[in-house]
Amino acid sequence: MYLSNYHSHCTFCDGRSSMEDFVKFAIPHGIKKYGFSSHAPLPFLTKWTMLADDFADYEKEFYRLKLKYEGQIELYLGLEVDFIHNCSDIENEFFSDKKLDYTIASIHYLDKISENNYWSIDGGFREFDAGLNLFFGGDIRLACKRFFEITGLMLEKGGFDIVGHFDKITYHALKYKDFNVTDKWFVDMVTVSLQLVKSKGIILEINTKSLAEYGITFPHAAFYPVINELQIPIHVNSDCHYPNHVDAGFRQTYMELKQTGFKTMRQLFDKQWVDVEFDENGLK
C-alpha cells in the first residue's frame, strides 16, 4: 500500500519550506509518488507565483532530489497553471519550451479589477466579499455561474492533465446563508461541468487542503456519487504548502471515496497515467 500526491507547493512559490523538506516528510509517511506543482509564473508579478527566471533552478533542484532519493520515492515535475480568461493559460509563451511530467489547471482569479489586478476567489473573505459586490451586486449565484463559465472555457481549451480544486468557489460561497451545495441550481451547474471534465478525459483531483479546517474537499463530497457515476478519473491531492500537510486528510478521503463506490485512482508511472485500485489504507 502506498499514497501519492501531485499537488504541492514549496519556496519556489508560496509554499513554506524547501522542496527537500517535503520529500523528507513524504517518504516516512508512505508517499511513493510525489509531484511538485509550484504556481506557474503569470504575465504579471504576484507574491504567490514562481518568478519566470526561477524555473531553471526549480528544474535543477528537482533533478537533484530525483536522483538523491531514487528508490525511496518517485518524484515528478509539474506546475499549477492559472487559467485567467484572456490573460493566462497553458498556451502562454512561458510554457512552450518547458519539459514537465504533468500540469494542473486551476482558477484563483476570476475577473479583472484593473490593470494587473484581479479578483481572487481563493484569498481572504473580505476580498472575496468586496469582489462579489463589485462584479455581481452581492449575488453569490451569479458569481458561481461566472466561475463555472470560466471553468468551462478552461476545460474546452484543455492542454493540461488535472483540474485543480474544481469547485473552489464553495470555499467562500458556503459562508453565505443563502448558499447550499445541494441547491438544485448549483448541483445542475456542477453536473454540467463534470460532464465536460469526463468528455475531455481530464483527471479530477480530490483536493483535501481545506478538509481539516472547513470539513470540505474540492470537489465537495456531495458530488462524489455523480463523479463516480460519470466514471471520471480521480486521485487525491493535498495541495500542501507545509511539509506536515503532505498527506493531510488522505485517510478520511480515501475511505469516503471507497464507500461511495470508487475503485481506482489515476496514477503516474513514469510518463503514463494508469488506473490503480485503492482502499481506505491507500493505493494497491
Site string for Zn ion, 70-99 (x = CB under 5 A): ----------x-------------------
Query: Contact 241/208 with Cβ under 8 angstroms?
Result: no
Is 61 a binder of Zn ion (CB under 5 A)? no
**101 touches Zn ion (CB under 5 A):** no
User: Minimal CA–CA distance to 37: which of 52, 49, 21?
Assistant: 49
122 vs 139, beta carbon nearer Zn ion: 122
Check: CB of residue 140 under 8 Å from CB of residue 179.
yes
Q: Judged by CB, which is closer to Zn ion: 213, or 270?
A: 213
Measured between alpha carbons, how far is 248 from 223 in angstroms, rounded to an integer?
20
Cell triple for 159: 492542454
Torsion of CA 26, 202, 164, 176, to 10 degrees: -130
The length of the chain in residues reads 284
CB 213 within 8 A of CB 248: no
Residues whose CB is less than 8 angstroms from the CB of residue 261 and which lie 6 or more positions away in sequence, other chains included: 225, 228
> Chain-centre distance of CA 271, in angstroms?
20
State the nearest-atom distance from the C-beta of 133 to Zn ion, in Å: 24
Query: Per CB under 5 A, which region of 65-73, 102-110, 225-233, 250-258 contacts Zn ion?
Result: 102-110
Residues 182-241 that bind Zn ion (CB under 5 A): 239
Confirm or reject binding of residue 49 to Zn ion (CB under 5 A). Answer: no
Per the listing, cell 506536515 goes with 244
| Spatial CB neighbours of 58, under 8 Å, sequence gap ≥ 6 | 12, 36, 38, 50
CB of 135 to Zn ion, least distance (A): 20
Burial class (CB in 10 A: 0-12, 13-18, 19+), 155: buried
DSSP state of 98: -
CB of 80 to Zn ion, least distance (A): 5
Closest CB 229 distance from Zn ion, rounded Å: 26
Complex with Zn ion: residue 162 or 268, whichever CB lies closer = 162
The smaller minimum CB distance to Zn ion, of residues 121 and 227, is found at 121
Nearer Cβ to Zn ion (67/216): 216
The residue type of 15 is G
Residue 233, preceding peptide bond in cis (omega within 30° of 0): no
Q: Site for Zn ion (CB under 5 A): how many residues?
A: 3
Closest approach of Zn ion to the CB of residue 185, in Å: 25
* Of 4, 49, 88, 106, the one binding Zn ion by CB under 5 A: 106
In whole angstroms, the minimum distance from the beta carbon of 184 to Zn ion comes to: 28
Taking the least distance from each CB to Zn ion, the nearer of 8 and 267 is 8
Taking the complex as a whole, the smallest distance from the CB of residue 129 to Zn ion amounts, in Å, to: 20
Minimum Å gap between C-beta 102 and Zn ion is 13
Name which of 239 and 247 has its Cβ closer to Zn ion.
239
- Which stretches of the chain bind Zn ion, using CB under 5 A? 80, 106, 239
